[in-house]
Structure 1
Amino acid sequence: MINRIVKMEFDPDKVNNFRDLFSQQQLLIRHFPGCLHLELWEHPASGNTWFTFSQWESEAALDNYRHSDLFRETWAATKVLFNAKPVAWTVKTAVSL
């Protein structure tokens, strides 16, 4: 299993557009084959910085999603809302208590 964290910073005037888009797409993403978990995190102090946290069966499952029509359509609608380049990390759990 792998974890994926994506940091996104939006134009403050477009945050609600992103929230609406995520609301529309979240179940489709969560039920994509290989997706085990999906969360949206907000950085409340900034007001425009958001993170997605997802868990995937494998790197291959994540790659299948990243090459899907669902990802292409969702990402195309999301990236026009950014005011900074997104940053993504794929990480594995080292310790879990």
Structure 2
Amino acid sequence: MLTRIVKLTFQEEKIDDFLAYFNTINTRVSTFENCYGMRLMQDMYHPYIVFTYSNWKDESALNRYRDSELFRGVWSTIKPWFGGKPEAWSVETQFEDGTFSPNHPEN
């Protein structure tokens, strides 16, 4: 499974617009084919910074979403509200709850 972490920095006056918009699309994104859930987190001290964490079957599933009409619509809506360059990481879990993953070199 692949986890996609995205950091989005908004113009301070646009964060409420983003949160309202996110509320209208979050279910469509989190139930996209081979997406195993999504989480939105907001920085406690800089509330105009948010992070999305989404879990995907694999990189191909993520890329199908990124190539979709849904993603293009979301991105074109929120892009003008950015106050900084988005950052994104695709990661695999190596350690969780006291156990290394099967792909970890110590196993």
What amino acid is aligned across from residue 32 of structure 2 in structure 1?
Answer: F
Unaligned runs of at least 5 residues, structure 1: none
Aligned mates of 1:39, 1:78 — CA distance in 2: 17
Q: Are 1:55 and 2:55 matched, yes or no?
A: yes
Shift of 1:20: 0.8
Alignment TM-score, normalising by the size of structure 1: 0.98
Specify the alignment match of 2:23 in structure 1. 23
Specify the alignment match of 1:71 in structure 2. 71
Aligned mates of 1:47, 1:66 — CA distance in 2: 26
What count of residue pairs does the alignment treat as equivalent? 97
Shift of 1:41: 0.4
Shift of 1:37: 1.1
Shift of 1:44: 1.4
Structure scoring higher RCO (CA < 8 A, sep ≥ 6) equals: 1
Unaligned runs of at least 5 residues, structure 2: 98-107
Shift of 1:78: 1.0
Specify the alignment match of 1:8 in structure 2. 8
Aligned mates of 1:72, 1:2 — CA distance in 2: 21
* Secondary structure of the structure 1 residue equivalent to 2:81: coil
Alignment TM-score, normalising by the size of structure 2: 0.89
Indicate the percent of aligned positions where both proteins have the same amino acid: 35
Shift of 1:89: 0.2
Which structure has the bigger radius of gyration?
A: 2
What amino acid is aligned across from residue 69 of structure 1 in structure 2?
Answer: E
Aligned mates of 1:39, 1:47 — CA distance in 2: 16
Aligned mates of 1:80, 1:33 — CA distance in 2: 27
Moved segments of 4+, more than 3 Å: none
Specify the alignment match of 2:94 in structure 1. 94
